Amino acid sequence: MTTIRRFCCNDLLRFTNVNLDHLTETFNMSFYMTYLARWPDYFHLAQGPGNHIMGYIEGQGESWHGHVTAVTVAPDYRRQQLAKKLMNLLEDISDNIDKAYFVDLFVRASNAPAIKMYEKLGYVIYRRVLRYYSGEEDGLDMRKALSRDVDKKSVIPLKRPVTPDELEYD
C-alpha cells in the first residue's frame, strides 16, 4: 500500500535511493530545506511498505503559476503511476488553493520517456531553453493550463528558443 504525505525534515536523510537516477537533478540540503520551509504544500512523497520512500515531488507556488522543481520515482517503484499521482496533487494545489493560471516544469530535451509522460498528463512544450542543464543540454519548458486560464493563453508556444538568462524568476 502506498501513502502520499507531506515531506518532512527527516525524509531528507532517507531519500537518496530516489535521487540516484542520472536524470534527476540533485541539490544540497539547504536547497531542499528552503523549499520545505517556503512551500510545504508543494513538497510530498510516496511511501511504501516498510516506510520506503518510493518517490517525491517538490515545487513552488507563486501568485500566477505553480512550478514542478522535481518529480522522481525510485527505479523499483516505476510503472505504478506514482509520478502521475504526485503531479495531480501539485496541480490540484496550484489550481484550487493558489488559483494559478498554469503549472510549468523543465525537462531535459533528451529525456523522451519523461516528455511522453508529461504530454500524456496534458503538458505542452512551451519553449526550448538552450543549454539549460549545466550549460550543456537544452531543457524544455513544459506547461499545463489550469482552470483560471480559460483561453489557454499561458500555453501558447513561443516561436523561438530562449537562453537561461532570458528566463524570469520570481
10 phi-psi bin (left φ>0, alpha ψ -120 to 50, beta other): alpha
**Burial of residue 141 (number of CB atoms within 10 Å: 0-12, 13-18, 19+):** buried
Tell me, what's the pLDDT at 170? 45
Q: Are 105 and 95 in contact (CB under 8 A)?
A: no
Record: fold of 3-166: Aminopeptidase (3.40.630)
DSSP string spanning 33-97?
Answer: HHHHHH-GGG-EEEE-GGG-EEEEEEEEE-SSEEEEEEEEE-GGG-SSSHHHHHHHHHHHIIIII
Q: Are 7 and 43 in contact (CB under 8 A)?
A: yes
Contacts of 49 (CB under 8 A, 6+ apart): 1
Backbone angles phi, psi at 100, to 5 degrees: -75, 160
Distance between CA atoms of residues 2 and 56, nearest Å: 12
Tell me, what's the pLDDT at 63? 67
Q: Is 102 helix (H, G, I), strand (E, B) or coil?
A: strand
User: pLDDT tens digits for the chain (170 residues)?
Assistant: 889 999 999 998 888 888 887 777 778 889 889 989 999 999 999 999 888 899 999 888 876 899 999 999 998 898 899 999 999 999 999 999 999 999 999 999 999 999 999 999 999 999 999 999 987 899 999 999 999 999 999 999 999 999 999 987 64
